[in-house]
Structure 1
């Protein structure tokens, strides 16, 4: 199944929130308080210095979202950071890999030379497998960097992929 990915608009927010709220409430993948409000989450998610996208399935339903933003400022702004979420009902179908690959194409088009994820929770094995399938590699581990709601302090990975051709 192929997704149609477009830039997120203000009208998309209710569907984006529908996808993000369960992610925030689960507390097992994003470093956000479990009680973050819709407005707080929107403030975190919408990247005024980056790009927000929505992915629609064949029926036009938004089933995934992502953002791309500079990982650092100034001389480090050629490397981007990204965040993703897939609707609960759409998980396990390969959409995360497809969305990650598409976001890399978008990042290249925006001039980024690499993509880096600063906090991939070690217990989020589905995401780790998806990002590895999309070409990212674990380049570091931060011991105990994430306070998982069920498992306590768990490691977080830093993942990276060059976006320069032939790398």
Structure 2
């Protein structure tokens, strides 16, 4: 698997799984009806470092972004987002993207990474905790999950070496 910085043309290969994941309304707090144009602005913002994971055939099977979570004196705390094509789950793509982004965050001087709203039923919670993230708190019943009803949103954090 190759993980590299995304180019503008990669969006057309990210959008199909981005749309599928957000429309499912199970793991992201973005509006399930987000338009392609709005999705591109959210994910491919110039303020973000965006990455793609390609399989051995060159297909884009996942994407991630890295950005400051705050501004000013707190700008050394990062935020990130990750998506893996649901058809490619269980291959270690999410972990590989996460490890890559964490290394890049440290290389760019970030001192920590925070996730502001991790749906508590998201299977990725297990991945994040295995990578050293802790749940700082949970906003109870904050997310209307299509299968589980109201569930909490975790705020997760990990210190970095930067």
TM-score (norm 2): 0.94
1:98-142 per-residue CA deviation (whole Å, 9 max, x = no partner) reads 111110011111111111101110111x21111122221212111
**Alignment partners' CA distance in 2, 1:151 and 1:58:** 36
| Count of aligned pairs | 162
Give the corresponding residue for 1:159: 156
CA contact (8 A) 1:47 1:67 kept: no
**TM superposition outliers: structure 1 runs of 4+ over 3 Å:** none
CA contact (8 A) 1:47 1:69 kept: no
**Alignment partners' CA distance in 2, 1:94 and 1:7:** 19
CA contact (8 A) 1:6 1:53 kept: yes
Give the corresponding residue for 2:29: 31
**Alignment partners' CA distance in 2, 1:55 and 1:9:** 12
**Alignment partners' CA distance in 2, 1:123 and 1:56:** 27
Matches within 5 A, 1:1-167: 3-124=1-122, 126-164=123-161
Alpha-carbon deviation of 1:30? 1.1
TM-score (norm 1): 0.92
**Alignment partners' CA distance in 2, 1:148 and 1:15:** 27
Say what the alpha-carbon RMSD is for the aligned residues.
Answer: 1.3
1:21-79 per-residue CA deviation (whole Å, 9 max, x = no partner) reads 11111011111111111111111112322211101112211111001110011111000
Flag structure 1 segments of 5+ consecutive residues without an equivalent: none
